[in-house]
Chains A and B, each alone.
Chain A
């Protein structure tokens, strides 16, 4: 769910950088307000690297297979660190593998980062840490699938805003419907995997679900 370089017009590219800069600044401000962040930085960085590595796992979904995004789980585990972590992950993906884009770093950061923060709030809203694995799993499903639905909506909004108006019309709407349809299996997969993951972490190391 990356928008590559060259697709979006300049106002949307610039708006993406302004928006992502503002959210990153606010996230860093919240991190600093919770005391010296130095001890938390290695934890956030290593989890970012682990998410990056996990996103390379290939799932055999016909016709071509998919890679996990896991931005919902990243939000649950990293909290305010999630947005900077996603920007860093996207930058490294663009530089090391040519995935995504540099001019679209801000837009892509918002597409994946805002749903991660939303998933964090959704998962922890009135949560009882001693709740049964079943209840934790339901929260994981909502956070994982919800983050993907929100990311898909932001992705479509960026395309609608960023592509010239003359590309519009019935053919464009059909193309957008195809994009939505193609992402439905991924939304379900992200929800299922996040469910299994939060249940696993609650059993093995519940502290990881409390954030860093």
Chain B
């Protein structure tokens, strides 16, 4: 049995407002987990989500390329430094049971939250997610800023690449950390800030011409049906089970 095709997948058809609510509830439930025995259920959740997302596994895994340095350091440090009960000896180092459990918890929660968020947020375009946040009550100033930032991120990233290419073609390598190089990097950053500032006024005039700020320009067209409510209830139920297990009301 193959995962559903992109565009037809259940998560892609779910109302983005309900999807964001479901994600918020789910990741907060994951953050409450303090018992390593609950981790299999926590890690099974993103697997189920991935199945119904229509996203290729390679795409999901490629997004995990940048695990937080802090998480990696904690995972290495905790088993060796925290606890009193020796579990294993690695040459001169001792692995402690309590530290290992703590590292498993942090690693499991990290993977569960990051994978669930990646899958849910990438099952709709980012602009749709931001509009759904607006529909859920995010202040319009932040929504407009976020949409414009997203729109011009690629443009300014392209500008930056071109400016650096021009610098390299003139012989700048930037592989040493001297005062001269720092000044050049500062000027490069300053030029980028100047370009974006000058571009902003033209963008504002163009936006006004297209009706920005007029009544009705903030309306959304999200419509929820029975399936959207059902999926939210299922997500709530999963979150509730995880919370109850974490509170040790139902020991596993």
Residues of A within 8 A of B (CB): 2-10, 13, 24-25, 28, 31-32, 36-39, 41-54, 56-57, 59-61, 68, 70, 77, 81, 84-85, 87-89, 91-92, 94-103, 164, 166-167, 169, 171-172, 175, 189, 192-193, 195-197, 200-201, 204-205, 208
Q: Are B112 and A6 in contact (CB under 8 A)?
A: yes
Q: Are A7 and B70 in contact (CB under 8 A)?
A: yes
Q: Are B98 and A166 in contact (CB under 8 A)?
A: yes
**Residue among B114, B159, B187 having the largest count of chain A Cβ atoms under 10 Å:** B114
Q: Does B65 contact A (CB under 8 A)?
A: yes
Q: Are A61 and B177 in contact (CB under 8 A)?
A: yes
Interface of B is mostly: helix
Interface of A is mostly: helix
Q: Are A6 and B77 in contact (CB under 8 A)?
A: no
Residues of A within 8 A of B197 (CB): 43, 46-47, 205, 208
Q: Are B71 and A4 in contact (CB under 8 A)?
A: yes
Q: Are A85 and B145 in contact (CB under 8 A)?
A: yes
Q: Which residue of A lies closest to B107 (CB)?
A: A6
Q: Which residue of A lies closest to B202 (CB)?
A: A42
Q: Are A2 and B185 in contact (CB under 8 A)?
A: no
The 7 closest A-B pairs by CB, nearest first: A6-B109, A4-B68, A196-B186, A6-B110, A45-B148, A171-B81, A5-B113
The residues in B between 40 and 77 inclusive whose CB is less than 8 angstroms from any CB of A are: 63-68, 70-71, 73-74, 77
Q: How far is the CB of A49 from chain B (nearest CB, A)?
A: 4
A137 to B147, CA, bound (A): 34
Q: Are A5 and B152 in contact (CB under 8 A)?
A: no
